[in-house]
Structure 1
């Protein structure tokens, strides 16, 4: 019975590693695209940056989880992970259109700006995850 349970271990590890790689790659790209440095601001105890970045991380991870559940292959999983990342980047730029000084506000620890960006990113992730059920 234990050996039967462990038959799924290799696919689990592959999906998990690809998912983790997608998350790390997305965070890297996201921090290069945004004008402010999330890592630095979070390390400096900036709650606005932490809220925005945390919402973005969760907003990206939700559709990654959905893609893992619904994917028909590892390639399919990776493709939908990339699509999820693009949608999060689109969300950042749309919020920035609405709030042109978004990065400046986050750098200056305007909590409302961080909450709004984090909430928009989370909402995008929820919608994205729901739409990945095929």
Structure 2
């Protein structure tokens, strides 16, 4: 078997993992935008940088643990379990950041106070990095 054909024997696993991870990312975006008290994507389309930073940071923070699991397992079950845990972790990070650190968060996002987006986006990425590091099994 040629090296190229040998490499392609894992293509079905790759496609399955990509499909599961992209599905989780879509699910995360739907869940995240459902819990925020404003219309994230509408604000982004209007050029609201704060909404873009919070959503973008949350997506990165969510993707990091999925990347860790995918690089350390061949089990879609592991990927699914930890994907759910990563999703819940990011929603908790949003709840803590938007209610405790920045109690007037909704007004801050809607009035495009960029510092709010940087702080919450950074918190989301930090939580994702901590999850990533915790999943190196």
CA-based RMSD of the aligned residues comes to 0.9
Task: Give the gaps of 5 or more residues in structure 2.
Answer: none
Return the match for 2:111 from 93, 108, 112.
108
TM-score (norm 2): 0.94
Q: Alignment partner of 2:37: what SS?
A: coil
Partner of 2:53: 51
Stretches of 4+ aligned residues off by more than 2 angstroms:
none
Partner of 1:90: 92
The answer on 1:119 being equivalent to 2:119 is no
Return the match for 1:131 from 124, 131, 134.
134
Q: Alignment partner of 2:136: what SS?
A: coil
Deviation track 1:56-107 (CA, whole Å, cap 9, x = no partner) reads 1111111111111123410111110110010000100111222111122111
Q: Structure 2: how far apart are the matches of 1:47 and 1:35?
A: 17
Return the match for 2:76 from 58, 74, 77.
74
TM-score (norm 1): 0.96
Q: Structure 2: how far apart are the matches of 1:103 and 1:120?
A: 16
Partner of 2:29: 27
